[in-house]
Amino acid sequence: MTTQLRNALLAERSALQKMIESIPDEDVIDRGSLQAKLEQVEIELTRLGEIREPARTKLTFVGRPVIGSHGIFADFGMKAVNGFAEAIAAVAASLTAPLRSMGPIPNRDQNQLLITNTALGSFGFELEELPCAQLKLDEPSIVEQALERTQMLLQAAAESDDEMLADAAAEMDQRALDKVRAFVETLRANEALCAIEFRKNLFRFKNGDQVEQTVARISEANLQETVEELTGSFEGALPNKRRTFEFKVADTDEVIVGRFGAGVERPDEVNRHLFDLCKIKVAVTRVGTRKRRYVLLNLPDWDVANSS
């Protein structure tokens, strides 16, 4: 809606500017009236420039429950869209704080998706997040991050890309992964495929074999997350946009590269304690027995570390 309104205002501004140029200077009344309208349009455009566009995605389906572009079986459509929305809400919540194994998903209401239209072509839906006015224009919302991470996770699993799968799964806890897997299992049970279009990226399942493979590759047996305590020292950190760190493990001299988790509120603090011996807790995500990704859960107690 914001994009459509902005385009309409731009068109109106262009038309008004041309009209003003065609009016003689001595025609003060008409020229002044159009100039006032143009100023109002400029004010509206300025106001819209301060409004952040909500994240949008298209979720479309093909397969047994889909009748061309005409319709979709209601029971499958409701279950699939609800499963996708539940997965996004769970992933969003897990990117901000660890999830409890049971109970309501935190911030479920704020992380909901709205159905705003049906998608043309294959039958499906256009979805968007609730408006988030408190964010800066260039700051991605947590729902936007969850959409990107979920699309990345499904693509990596379907295409057997262990590197991408490990990156996508890092910071997602098992409950969030369970929600994503439940969505894919709904596709499998109903002999359906889906496509997810987000920003300029499009992922689609090519066949049922990819759906089967995705269920297996994001299973708890293949994607495991454990919490480990490591002793060593930080060797560097990029705390702002990249939010990454390097940590040298004392026992092995191995230098691991990890990300600061959502619970680390002052990651820049690390650069004040480079090479100081300390203990850290990290969530370790494993893909099979090979790829690992590390996420720092919280900062160490530097005072305790320095006094021991």
Of 163, 296, 167, nearest in space to 227 by CA:
296
Burial class (CB in 10 A: 0-12, 13-18, 19+), 74: exposed
Give the pTM: 0.74
pLDDT of 169 > 90? The answer is no
pLDDT for 288 equals 73
pLDDT of 268 > 70? The answer is yes
Higher pLDDT, 131 or 146: 146
How does pLDDT run across 238-264, given as a tens digit for each residue? 876 668 899 999 989 999 999 888 778
Q: Which of 41-55, 185-199, 255-269 has the highest mean pLDDT?
A: 185-199
Q: Which of 48-57, 84-93, 266-275 has the highest mean pLDDT?
A: 84-93
Q: What is the CA radius of gyration of the chain?
A: 25
Higher pLDDT, 145 or 47: 145
Widest CA span of the chain, in angstroms?
A: 86
pLDDT of 134 > 80? The answer is no
Q: Which of 92-96, 228-232, 283-287 has the highest mean pLDDT?
A: 228-232
pLDDT for 144 equals 92
Over residues 19-41, mean pLDDT: 81
d(CA 267, CA 243): 8
How many CB atoms are closer than 10 A to CB 33? 13
Tokens encoding 116: 């705003």
Contact by Cβ (8 Å): 247, 237? no
Q: What is the DSSP string of the chain?
A: -HHHHHHHHHHHHHHHHHHHHHS-TT-HHHHHHHHHHHHHHHHHHHHHHTSPPPPEEEEEEEETTEETTTEE-HHHHHHHHHHHHHHHHHHHHHTTSPPPSSSPPTTTTTT-EEEEEEETTTTEEEEEEPP-TTS-TTPPPHHHHHHHHHHHHHHHHHTT-HHHHHHHHTT--HHHHHHHHHHHHHHHHTTEEEEEEETTEEEE--SHHHHHHHHHHTSTTTEEEEEEEEEEEEEEEETTTT-EEEEEETTT--EEEEEE-TT-S-GGGGGGSTT--EEEEEEEEEETTTEEEEEE-S---HHHHHH-
Read off the pLDDT band of 51 (50, 70, 90): low
Find the range with the poorest average confidence among 95-99, 170-174, 216-220, 267-271. 95-99
Over residues 124-141, mean pLDDT: 74
Q: Is the dihedral of CA 57, 64, 159, 164 positive or negative?
A: positive
pLDDT for 10 equals 73
pLDDT of 89 > 80? The answer is yes
Higher pLDDT, 191 or 175: 191
Report the share of the chain in percent with pLDDT over 70: 87
Which residues, other chains included, contact 191 with Cβ-Cβ below 8 Å and sequence gap of 6+? Answer: 63, 64, 65, 208
